[in-house]
Structure 1
Amino acid sequence: MAQDIVMVVGLGNPGSDYENTRHNAGALFVEALAREAGQTLRPEKKYHGLYARIQWQGLDLHLLNPSTFMNRSGTAIKALADFFKISPEQILVAHDELDLPPGTAKLKKGGGHGGHNGLRDTIAHLGTNDFQRLRLGIGHPGDSRKVTGFVLGRLGKQETEQLTAVFDEVMRVLPDAASGKLAAAMNRLHSFKPTP
């Protein structure tokens, strides 16, 4: 069976200073997916990140959390994609999304970077924006001057619970999204409502 998604990347910043921050939502998702598959992400120098290859739900997936900083994510993504000859269209990049409320997620193919430095660098390194995205809602602080502090702030208890719930829902739809049923996966995921 041909897979539409072969590689799942979680954007985030490395190190304990950034652990469990909103900006690391993508990396937290990939860690959760690895755990779900009974695997652990391990440092892999040639891919500039933490890597695992999993067999899960009938899928063969390369998981990567770049250990570069967010604005250098493309280096790691391109290294792994080039090594395994994975086309940009087969890559799903999970990232935090200010424009979605906490506990929600949306799948999207293509598009701009929306000011997200990890996406900006990924587009620059891949030479295209034609990769898939998993947009993980973190909400917006309401004032553009507060965005940096907000995204680099640690997740609260309720936010963590909401992210965990949406991660579970993403994992339920990922097999469809990866195997030619993107519309069905999107319909289900986009109607998911966080628990208050």
Structure 2
Amino acid sequence: MKQVLVLGAHGKIAQLVTKNLLAHDIQQKLFLRNSARLQIEDPAKEWLIEGNATSLFDLQQAMTGSEIVYANLAGEIVEEARNVVAAMKAKGIKRLIWISTLGIYDEVPGNYGKWNHEQLDGGYLETYAEAASVIEDSGLDYTIIRPAWLDDQTEIAYELTYKGQAFKGTEVSRASIADLVTKIILDPELYLGESLGVNKPNTDGDKPAWYN
């Protein structure tokens, strides 16, 4: 049975991925700082691991036996990226799915790009860009995912852009990102070495329609 380590398992996207994977023959290690915040649905397929991604020791312990690492992290993101890479190399794990954010390559055009900088500059966008660079330089079999601004709609509707292409659209559902992550976990050969922008089609504009 394939084993996946989910880092930041309490995150909204991560919880959707976890539910998606329950329908498949996959074991999931759910890694988070406070394990009391999550309840597992299937003890035969899921177990909780309490730890911090700023701890290389915690990550190495959690990675034992895993084949894929899916990282849905926040906070000290550069340190976490370095630790994830180091732990994966120590454990001989190659496949990584890394959630980042739009704008790390200054790839968002027009007024939306300006607005995105206004919202995310000053420590957030810069650190996510640096963390993505750590992943890209790691030698791992990575996929970086750069979502548009997220909402909690249940629809699954998305399109992809690649590194070097202008970002499209302004918004996307967490369910769509979870669908993409799930597909990659089920078929790890998908999107190897790619950094994917993800948006809902036909949502071009100066900012997300729902943003006040």
Q: Which has the larger radius of gyration?
A: 2
TM-score, length of structure 2 as denominator length: 0.42
Greater RCO, CA 8 A, separation 6+:
1
